[in-house]
Amino acid sequence: MSLFGFVLALHIAVGTVGLVLGPIAMTARKGPGLHTRAGEVYHWVMLAVCVSAAALAALDWQRIWWFLPIAAGSYAFALLGYVAAKRRWKGWLRAHVTGQGGSYIAMTTALLVVNWQALTGTRGIESPWAWALPTAVGTPLIAWANYRIARGRIALGRSAPGQSARGRRAREPIAPDPIAGGSTARGPIAPGPRPPELLGRGPRPDA
């Protein structure tokens, strides 16, 4: 097997894994578990896809030079999504969705362009449809996901760093006040002095 054939076989193998992992990470329940594991593997698979694509372009520049810009763009999106999930700056979730979705669009674009001639008889690199279809389908889906994030309709299984303690406090049950009868404080309430109007009315209910 030639060097080009070896790199091509590697590229096809990791590309297939990336095409399968993308939908798994997208549809899995957000938070620790399958979503994060699939997303972690997806990032490194995308790196392998892009490096192998760049190598193929270097080995056959005249014919598939366009692999290089697609590889660079694909990994730029994948890296944005990966770093956003790791660093979690303000607005990180939308950056994460845009990065991961954009990298998947770029990968499917390359797949469609390469196979367009077998599907339609026209060279993919010369067809605007081959280049535009993945973007036309994927961009509205990314926009819809980001809209739902902005409206608070997409939540993760865990809070972002710096918000977890506050989030836990907000979800803690509120203990009833044995004197006022309402819910005034979180956690157990230590007995305190009785109001003057209740003095002489028998033992305290919390005594």
C-alpha 26/C-alpha 37 separation (Å) is: 12
For residue 195, the SS3 value is: coil
Say what the pLDDT of residue 149 is: 92
Rounded mean pLDDT, 147-166: 63
Between the alpha carbon of residue 114 and those of residues 83, 118, 123, the distances in Å are 29, 9, 8
76 bridge partner residues: none
C-alpha 68/C-alpha 54 separation (Å) is: 5
Nearest CA to 50 out of 66, 70, 65 is that of 70
Rounded mean pLDDT, 153-179: 47
Which of 11-20, 27-36, 180-189 is predicted most confidently?
11-20
As a whole-number percent, the residues of the chain with pLDDT over 90 amount to: 68
Tokens 């299984």 identify what position?
A: 157
Question: Residue 56 — pLDDT band, cuts 50, 70, 90?
Answer: very high
